[in-house]
Chain A
Amino acid sequence: MTGTDLPALSIADLQLLLRRREVSPREVIDSLRARIEAVDSEIGAYLSLDTEAAAKEADKANVDLPLGGVPVAIKDIINVMGQPCTCASKALQGYRATYNATVIRKLRTAGAIPFGKTNLDEFAMGSSTENSAMKTTRNPWDLSRVPGGSSGGSAAAVAADAAFGALGSDTGGSVRQPAALSGVVGFKPTYGRVSRFGLVAFASSLDQIGPLTKTVRDSALIMNAIAGHDSQDTTALNEPVPDYAAKLGNDLRGVRLGLPKEYLIEGIDAQVKAAINAAVNQMNSLGAEIIEVSLPTTEYAIAVYYVLATAEASANLARFDGVRYGYRAKNPRDVLDLYGRTRGEGFGSEVKRRIILGTYVLSSGYYDAYYLRAQKVRELVRRDFARAFEKVDALISPTSPVPAFKLGERVADPLQMYLADIFTIAARPPIAQTVIHKSSAQ
């Protein structure tokens, strides 16, 4: 194995070489940096890369730890102390994190090396990474197409062998959808399973950090490292963490899988439909029983999501006011002028649209009609899933109704972009596994 072949390995295969001392963590970092240098000018997955800090960590790495010496790319919305954390926003240009997110501390405890901050839709608001104020990220399979979003940089880096694995964050699909569009594995853990401490908040009742990897096993390895209770996040579940890798490789005998009838509707791309049918047949042949289930509130899911997520975002993003960190407008007349211009100039269009929508649905006279009603319909959606899981162990669904679309194709119509989140809004805890590799690339 030469240095140039290393970045193509899965995490599990890389660890075999590391533990046999056939390669050193330093050689791994060097080969990965060379790969990034070779491909990232075209793909644009990374926003920043601190090679020196990573090399230092590599020299001290203990390869016998669960993720010893494995570099992991980090979505640039998760704080890594001393590194930039821009959220792909002008509002945080130049910001450097003053503390580590819990997931970073846990990755390091497991021996992993956080290496590189990846591009995203500004503050994780978007489905194509085109809302980044920093750069364009392209789909490695077809450079004219989007990688999906909002964790598009993480997905593209893994797909291009420019990362062994990566962390993303998922609120309404932001790990799973880019994983599907870029042909990698993406997993959104159950809400509360992974601490959100140090993840810049978008919609706190939905945000969750998850892995993007080349294989399901690699996602399990990262979950083993990052899952668990955290006294710094009151919503982190205080439940025992299973060994996510323990049952991999078993057949599916006795497993009941649900196929929601509302999910194979008109408007789904023929390639996506064919891929799902092929996956269903394969799982059936491995012993799984396929059962049709119904999720009647599917039709409300997107409306619920865009009320609740924007409401929470309008509160969470109030902190970007130009006082303690981030962008500040020049020569403010007074404090209101400081706030108004800082936020008007610092935020991009999608972020402003969502804050305004969220402010509206929480404002006096509209709270009951929008926010409270959406919270109640969310309970109906939750009950639908609870009912389905009485009958089945897991659900099968497409991740996105369409394969990767062209850059620029959807930016003009936010509603159409929102509607494409139909399958990722409510499902839990879902894993996006590409069923036909390169299905999006022509």
Chain B
Amino acid sequence: MAKTSDLDVAYVARLARINLTEAEAKVFQKQLHDVLQYVEKLRQADISHVEPAAHAFPNFNDFREDTPRDWFTAEQALSNAPRKANGLFIVPKVVE
């Protein structure tokens, strides 16, 4: 298992698209270091020949008929949009 000191909160926060203040980053660095230190104990478990469990009751390929049904309208889908116009979500320019 990787050393917990590897965690660089400021870098991972950028990956997660969360702007942190310097003060936040400093506090989280210490707190998450403690949490990862605790998680180190997983190294002691013998996991050879063990398949990972996705959840308690494996349940695969539960299909339903692909038929249209009533659902919310475009207008309702846009009803919570912070910015919208002409039936579209408005975002800052993405391409130059």
Contacts and interface: CB of A to CB of B under 8 A. Distances in A.
Interface in A77-122: 94-96, 98-99
B2 A356 contact: no
Contact of B35 (A95, A373, A415): A415
A151 B28 CA distance: 25
A98 B79 contact: yes
Contact of B55 (A206, A303, A335, A338): A206
Nearest to B95: A335
Interface in B47-92: 47, 50-57, 59, 62, 64, 71-72, 76-77, 79-83, 89, 91-92
A265 to B, nearest CB: 15
Contact of A372 (B28, B52, B92, B94): B52
Given A369-B2, A373-B1, A303 B18 contact: no
A10 B14 CA distance: 50
A375 B20 contact: no
A382 B50 CA distance: 11
Contact of A95 (B43, B59, B80): B80
A335 to B, nearest CB: 5
A382 B16 contact: no
Contacts of A340: 14, 17-19
Interface residues of A, number: 77
B39 to A, nearest CB: 5
Contacts of B81: 323-325
Interface residues of B, number: 54
Contacts of B13: 352, 356
**Chain A, interface SS category:** helix
Contacts of B17: 318, 321, 336, 339-340, 343
Contacts of B91: 323, 335, 338
A303 B19 contact: no
A281 interface: no
Given A327-B82, A328-B83, A415-B34, A373 B18 contact: no
B92 to A, nearest CB: 5
A70 interface: no
Interface of A: 94-96, 98-99, 190-192, 205-206, 231, 234-238, 297, 299-300, 302-304, 306-307, 314, 318, 321-328, 332-341, 343-345, 347, 349, 352-353, 355-357, 359-360, 363, 365-366, 369-370, 372-380, 382, 413-415, 418-419, 428
Interface of B: 1-2, 6-7, 9, 12-21, 24, 28, 31-32, 34-36, 38-39, 41-43, 45, 47, 50-57, 59, 62, 64, 71-72, 76-77, 79-83, 89, 91-94
25 contacts: A95-B80, A96-B79, A98-B72, A191-B56, A237-B59, A238-B62, A325-B82, A340-B18, A343-B16, A343-B17, A353-B28, A353-B31, A356-B9, A356-B13, A359-B12, A360-B12, A366-B6, A370-B39, A373-B42, A373-B43, A376-B47, A376-B51, A379-B52, A382-B56, A415-B34
